[in-house]
């Protein structure tokens, strides 16, 4: 099919729209885990066309935040040999199928910070010479440490080190975008697209800009096409940027529900609080929450850190602080689990591209993030575990920019079982996988850079708390019932600094109860 541009996007079926994608095209896609803003109908049509016709082939796929449900949807639609040649992703964990293809060297696998990819789309859209930023210095994205390459097949240098005014920066190189796949809620009679019924905007506008500036096409999926005219204040993707539109009346807001009004409208958070259950996650989250003062602008990452929000809500402290997540949401209460990326009753929903600007500009007072590996110098790895590409999502931007960084996680992983016994912590079965290691696989957060920039860095586990000092990690708190030599040092790959650690608050450990394993 040949597409001719008009004043209004051309409406067509998903199959017809996908027929516009040529072999060896670079395809940019918007979306976030849990189905937030994922153009699933377009991705499914692309997968079907390839399975039926072996076309298109050898695509390059680029996306900033994770997409999928770990069961083949989202980014998993690309997981066919021959369909994709290269993937540049911000977060890979939602698609085990693509991760396996990267392991098997079936594709060229790259990962970059999610905000970098989002902002790079914008730079491409303005025809500027790439993104020049300090984000990623000293991490896996730095060309001195891999430059975002995650397998042998990935050989191109997509990042370079540059110096301006005697300071180091990374330049993320621009590329052409042939096709942008985006999603919105409604298209009006003029062809303008709004997001009023969506849980996030993400980087749909930036992706569309990149395609238009590259001479490519923009294909949008929407739930509704209306004969009305949208309020110009809720139009986020103008008709002048869109070439084709596919109406999908069955489009769901997330993977879990067709529509949840709470995710796109104001409301009373007091009606949406839920008391956390007694798990090891609650112990860690409560200790982390104790570090948050009144009036803070805070961010939480996926996993255990999201439970910090549950603690704040249960304690009536949620209104005392403002929660910010990288998907473009300010205020409200971020959801946990697979719907992380949406929030109940958000106060502001703007683009993730703009959100990363704010984060990089120092918006955050404190962030709570996960940790998979920590070394003696306080550097943290979450982007590559056991040789598998995870990608960082917004981790790099957030951890480099927040004034206080609190890493939250169990002390070990893999079968860890714990119990609370009258305010004391007892280890019933130790985890098989240590997290505090002599040599981590990759650097996603640089401890030395944090020290150089004056960040406060704390590591909270269920049995111990560490802080980052000039000489490395220092053990500052130990849970009641824990033996330092047996339960801490014996499961670390290095010796931390020890100078009279105090006891963790026994109130964190409550009454006698068995804690659910991680």
Query: What CATH fold (topology level) applies to the domain 269-410+435-505?
Result: Glutaconate Coenzyme A-transferase (3.40.1080)
What average pLDDT does this structure show over 127-131? 98
pLDDT at 258 over 60: yes
What dotted CATH number matches 10-247? 3.40.1080.10
What pLDDT sits at residue 518?
A: 43
Which pair of tokens denotes residue 355? Answer: 């959100």
- Residue 37 has phi, psi (to 5 degrees) of 60, 20
- Residue 398: strand, helix, or coil: helix
Per-residue pLDDT reduced to its tens digit, 277-299: 557 888 999 999 999 999 999 99
Residue 512 has pLDDT above 50, yes or no: no
Asked if 478 contacts 462 with a C-beta cutoff of 8 angstroms, the reply is no
Q: In the structure, what pLDDT confidence band is assigned to residue 198 with cuts at 50, 70 and 90?
A: very high
Quick check: 468 pLDDT over 70?
A: yes
What percent of the chain clears pLDDT 70, i.e. is strictly above it? Answer: 96
Task: Tell me the mean pLDDT in the region 177-201.
Answer: 97
For this structure, is 261 an active site residue?
Answer: no
Whole-angstrom distance, CA of residue 191 vs CA of residue 334: 32
Length of the chain as a residue count: 518
Q: 17 — phi, psi (to 5°)?
A: -65, -45
Position 345 scores a pLDDT of 96
Please pick, among 38, 198, 247, 326, the residue that the annotation labels catalytic: 326
Tell me what pLDDT residue 513 has: 44
Rounded mean pLDDT, 309-330: 94
Q: Is the pLDDT of residue 275 over 70?
A: no
* pLDDT at res. 85: 98
For β-strands 217-225 and 179-187, DSSP reports them as parallel
Distances (CA, A) of 399 to 300, 379, 506: 11, 11, 29
Give the pLDDT confidence of 57-108 residue by residue, as tens digits.
999 999 999 898 888 899 999 999 999 999 999 999 999 999 999 999 999 9
pLDDT band with cut points at 50, 70 and 90 for residue 270: low
516 pLDDT band (50/70/90 cuts)?
very low
Q: Are 449 and 137 in contact (CB under 8 A)?
A: yes
Rounded to whole angstroms, how far apart are CA atoms 382 and 370? Answer: 8
Task: Identify whether the C-beta of residue 209 lies closer than 8 Å to the C-beta of residue 32.
Answer: no
Residues 251-259 have a mean pLDDT of 95
Residue 436 DSSP symbol: B
CB-count burial class (<10 Å; 0-12, 13-18, 19+) for 79? buried
Alpha-carbon span 20 to 42, nearest angstrom: 12
For the chain, give every domain's residue range. Answer: 10-247, 269-410+435-505
pLDDT digits (tens, 9 = 90+) for 29-44: 999 988 999 999 999 9
Would 10-247 and 269-410+435-505 be classified into the same CATH topology? yes
> Mean pLDDT, to the nearest integer, of 342-367?
97
Average pLDDT of the segment spanning 299-326:
93
Pairing verdict, β 472-478 and 433-434? unpaired
Pull the structure tokens for residue 379. 């550097």
Helix (H, G, I), strand (E, B) or coil at 307: helix
Whole-number average pLDDT of the chain: 94
């Amino acid at each position: 099919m040949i597409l001719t541009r008009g004043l209004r996007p051309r409406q067509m079926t998903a199959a017809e729209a996908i027929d516009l994608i040529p072999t060896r095209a670079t395809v940019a896609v918007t979306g976030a885990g849990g189905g937030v803003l994922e153009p699933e109908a377009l991705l499914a049509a692309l997968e079907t066309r390839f399975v039926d016709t072996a076309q298109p082939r050898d695509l390059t796929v680029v996306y900033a935040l994770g997409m999928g449900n770990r069961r083949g949807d989202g980014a998993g639609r690309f997981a066919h040999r021959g369909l994709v040649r290269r993937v540049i992703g911000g977060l890979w964990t939602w698609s085990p199928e693509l991760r396996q293809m990267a392991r098997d060297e079936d594709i060229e696998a790259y990962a970059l910070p999610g905000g970098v990819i989002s902002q790079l789309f914008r730079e491409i859209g303005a025809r500027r010479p790439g993104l020049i930023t300090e984000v990623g210095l000293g991490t896996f994205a730095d060309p001195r440490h891999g430059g975002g390459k995650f397998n042998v097949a990935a050989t191109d240098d997509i990042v370079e080190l540059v110096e301006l005014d005697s300071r180091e920066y990374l330049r993320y190189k621009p590329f052409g975008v042939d096709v942008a796949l985006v999603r919105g809620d409604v298209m009006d009679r003029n062809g303008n697209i709004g997001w009023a019924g969506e849980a996030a905007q993400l980087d749909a506008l930036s992706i569309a800009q990149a395609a238009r500036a590259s001479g490519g096409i923009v294909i949008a999926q929407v739930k509704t096409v209306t004969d009305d005219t949208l309020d110009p204040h809720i139009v986020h993707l103008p008709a002048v940027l869109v070439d084709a539109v596919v109406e999908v009346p069955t489009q769901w807001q997330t993977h879990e529900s067709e529509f949840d009004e709470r995710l796109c409208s104001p409301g009373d958070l007091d009606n949406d609080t839920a008391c956390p259950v007694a798990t090891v996650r609650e112990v860690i989250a409560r200790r982390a929450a104790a570090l948050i003062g009144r009036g803070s602008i805070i961010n939480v990452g996926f996993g255990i850190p999201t439970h910090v929000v549950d603690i704040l809500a249960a304690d009536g402290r949620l209104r005392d602080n403002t929660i910010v997540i990288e998907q473009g949401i300010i205020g409200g209460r971020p959801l946990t689990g697979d719907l992380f990326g949406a929030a109940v009753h958000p106060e502001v929903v703007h683009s993730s591209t703009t959100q990363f600007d704010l984060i990089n500009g120092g918006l955050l007072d404190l962030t709570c993030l996960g940790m998979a590996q920590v070394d003696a110098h306080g550097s943290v790895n979450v982007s590559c575990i056991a040789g598998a590409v995870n990608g960082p999502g917004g981790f790099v931007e957030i951890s480099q920019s927040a004034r206080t960084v609190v890493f939250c996680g169990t002390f070990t992983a893999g079968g860890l079982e714990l119990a609370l016994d009258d305010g004391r912590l007892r280890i019933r079965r130790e985890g098989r996988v240590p997290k505090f290691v002599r040599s981590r696989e990759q650097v996603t957060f640089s401890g030395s850079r944090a020290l150089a920039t004056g960040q406060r860095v704390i590591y909270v586990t269920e049995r111990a708390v560490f802080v980052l000092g000039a000489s490395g990690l220092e053990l500052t708190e130990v849970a009641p019932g824990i033996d330092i030599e047996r339960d801490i040092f014996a499961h670390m790959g290095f010796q931390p600094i020890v100078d009279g650690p105090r006891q963790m608050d026994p109130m964190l450990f409550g009454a006698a109860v068995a804690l659910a394993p991680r």
